[in-house]
Amino acid sequence: MIVFRTLLGIIRLLLFAIVTSTILTALLFTNLFYKSKSKKIERGIIYRRIIIRVLHYILGSKITVFGKEPKISGLIISNHRSYFDPLVILRNVLAYPIAKKEVESWPLIGYACKTTGVIFVERDNKDKRAETRNKVNLVLENGFSILNTPEGTTHIEATTIKFKPGSFVLAVKLGVPIIPIAIDYKNINDAWIGDDTFLPHFLRCFGKWRTEIKVSYLEPIFSDNVDELISLSKQKIDEELLRFRKEWNTK
């Protein structure tokens, strides 16, 4: 059984790399005919969605969706379980994720992120906040949303841990809504935590025949009060996480 799961995980990893590389190569080639950087990124976002949808078939993920994908632009915030979270959320949503600077140096994944609309930030660098705010504002002005995880780390707690206020402060300053999203995995071991490294986690998570995931798109929240935005977002996401787990546990 362990041998089968390891073999399946390796095959899926190879297919993951082949599909991603092929589509990114096609993107880079066609980008040669476009001079506008913004147009290249917009096309990259579309290509990214194609990659993501193909990868879900390859990796055996079974996603149950609740609610409707947001139709307006704003700051999308979600709880955080794994590096795989954005691939679930961005399956249907065209948005720019915010990722930690370290991801930019990851083989293949970092390169894919750079060419498909990811904003890299140094979370603890206060001097870079104005630069990040300007990037976010430009994205919103172009009609796209921003995806961020205010918990700042992954974990396996039943509900969300403390939200960092940065996204909510930014939403108030820019006058845009917060759009909460809840996401969770049936198998708690699918969370990427502690000293996990990419390859062992990938093989453990996607060596299974199916990876069951639930995601809930919640109603946008409008407010000019940071504390209210944090409280309401946390409450709505927590309610969904508890509901997900209860439904899985009663099956």
Smallest CA-to-CA distance from 95 within 114, 115, 112, 73 is with: 73
Confidence of residue 232 (pLDDT cuts 50, 70, 90): very high
207 by DSSP, 3-state: which? coil
Which CATH number characterizes residue 70's domain? 3.40.1130
40-88 residue pLDDT tens: 777 778 888 888 899 899 999 999 999 988 888 899 999 999 989 988 9
129-175 residue pLDDT tens: 677 777 777 778 777 888 999 998 899 999 999 999 988 988 998 88
- At residue 236, what is the residue type? K
Cβ neighbours for 71, distance < 8 A, ≥ 6 positions apart: none
Residue 125 pLDDT: 62
Percent of the chain surpassing pLDDT 70: 90
Show the domain range for 204: 2-249
The count of structural domains within the chain is 1
